Amino acid sequence: MPQSVIVLGAGMVGVSVALHLRRRGHDVLLVDQQQPGEGASFGNGGLIQREAVHPHPFPRDASEILRIARNKSIDAHYHWGALPGLATPLLRYWWNSEPHRYARIAEAYAKLIETCLDEHYAFARDTDAMPLLRPIGWIRMYSDETSFAAALAQAEAGKREHGVNFTAMDSQALVAAEPSLLKPRFGGIHWTDPVSVSDPHALVMSYAQRFLEAGGRFVIGNATSLTRAGQGWRVQTSDGPAEAEQVVVALGAFANRVTKPLGYDPPTFGKRGYHRHYKLQGNAVLNRPVLDTESAFLLAPMRAGVRLTTGAEFAGLDEPPTPVQLARAEPVARALLPLGDAVEPEPWMGVRPCTPDMLPIIGKLPGQQGVWCAFGHAHQGFTLGPTTGRMLAEMMDGEKPFIDPEPYRPERF
């Protein structure tokens, strides 16, 4: 029987949940403090990553940990003052990255990733979203034979076990594919399945428009105002109090601010990331996203220009931006590709919502009737939004989900 539902959070995950529920006939109100897609979904590599069947593990090699500990790299940066609060979740993250534990986690993770293209296309087909989806894949480049050989072996395992497709490229093939690169690289892996999105924010907005056209409603509101209202729930919005029988928490890195008062405080943590767009000089081109393994940044062609993205910054959720990684990456990126002027006056910053076991939290919130969780997707909320939306909608309707939800259940924390 259709019910009234408030979905808190209008990023890719929240919009996808809301759209699936509305298409099933539920009365759905989508609530956020800003417009859809303006949170973490706004700033990413713009990739729907069908190849990403392995989540990002915590480094296990001592030399790698020491390199990151020096706090001078492009791929990782941390605020000293944030470390005490991050110690417990990061220690659990390290523990779960032990090879045997990680293998079990990756198996559950891959089951989500394997669905991502079908679920996105189910939303986008025959809509204005389709021109945003470019089936061009992306290239990861390597500077030496050793690292390239190791990556190639892992890629071949991904193809055998999860149907991930790729093309191995030598240095000449890289030059042919991306003639504007200024530095040679030993080789690369062209992941051919992923879809590159020319404007991630526009894709979320397109899905949000499908939701509105289906009869859903969006309103600016304060998710932390959530309280019980009889057998249901109430939240304060710009249109006044809104009530519903069910509520979905899809607030990414800020979900705990709503779930903790309800008795559920999982050990999640945020990885902050930055991006900035640049023009290209002269007739230079970038045909597809490229990630330089040696420098650990991604360059992606977007509507706004070439987007330079950074790795992970560990800091407090409310601390002001400190885009030191972007400052480190920019001169290296300029030596790799003829970048021109920056498009924006200041870099963008967002927060990826992470869990210690690298798996999202999807399902009923423990100890509360009518509250559901859909957060903790780390680097892949943009990729997995439609998959999560379908799975959670099926659970809320009492159906057997198309993916076994057991590995992602909130009760594991």
**pLDDT tens digits, 261-302:** 999 999 999 999 999 999 999 999 999 999 999 888 999 999
What's the confidence (pLDDT) of residue 107? 96
What's the confidence (pLDDT) of residue 287? 98
What CA–CA distance (Å, rounded) separates 306 from 256?
34
What's the confidence (pLDDT) of residue 296? 87
Give the closest residue to 58 by CA, choosing from 105, 104, 106, 91: 91
Task: State the amino acid at position 15 in one-letter form.
Answer: V
What CA–CA distance (Å, rounded) separates 7 from 369?
15
What CA–CA distance (Å, rounded) separates 110 from 165?
14
Q: Which tokens is 168 given?
A: 């191995």
The reported pTM is: 0.96
Which 8-state DSSP code applies to residue 51?
A: T
Task: State the amino acid at position 406 in one-letter form.
Answer: E
Percent of the chain with pLDDT over 90: 93
Q: Which residues contact 221 (CB under 8 A, 6 or more apart)?
A: 31, 32, 33, 235, 236, 237, 238, 242
What's the confidence (pLDDT) of residue 148? 96
- pLDDT averaged over the chain? 96
Per-residue pLDDT of 392-403, as tens digits, reads 999 999 999 999
